[in-house]
Structure 1
Amino acid sequence: MCHHEPQCPPAHAVDHEAACMVAFHPEQGWGLLCNGVVVFEDTGELMPDGRSVPIHKAMPAYGQAA
């Protein structure tokens, strides 16, 4: 799916989040990476095979800057 040089990491790679974003919908809170992974603003993910990845990064506490 990726046409970048060098190619972005595939969806199954540990660093798959480093792939380029090809579609971004901030009003809906999600973006599509060129490796087929859908990333959500809360850090959850939807993999190309349909598996979901739960929120996996610490979010700042209420009232604290990011």
Structure 2
Amino acid sequence: MCNHQPHCPSAYASDRASAHVTVSHPEQGWSLLCNGVILFDDTGLLMPDSTVMTPHRGLVAA
């Protein structure tokens, strides 16, 4: 799906969320990345094979 250079990471690479945004719908809370991943505002992901990855958030200091 990625037509630019350098190519974006694949949907199954650990840095998949760093791919370029091809479609953005901030009013709905999601963006489609050029590797086929749908990235949600809460950091959850929908993979091209319909696998769901739950949101990942950093640790909060007390």
Normalising to structure 1: TM-score of the pair? 0.85
Name the count of aligned residue pairs. Answer: 60
Consecutive aligned runs of 4 or more in structure 1 exceeding 6 Å deviation = none
Normalising to structure 2: TM-score of the pair? 0.90
CA–CA distance in 1 between the matches of 2:47 and 2:27? 21
Q: What's the CA shift for 1:58?
A: 3.5
Unpaired stretches in structure 1, ≥5 consecutive residues: 61-66
Looking at CA atoms only, which structure, 1 or 2, has the larger radius of gyration? 1
Q: Does 1:46 align with 2:42?
A: no
Q: What's the CA shift for 1:57?
A: 1.6
CA RMSD of superposed structures (Å): 1.4
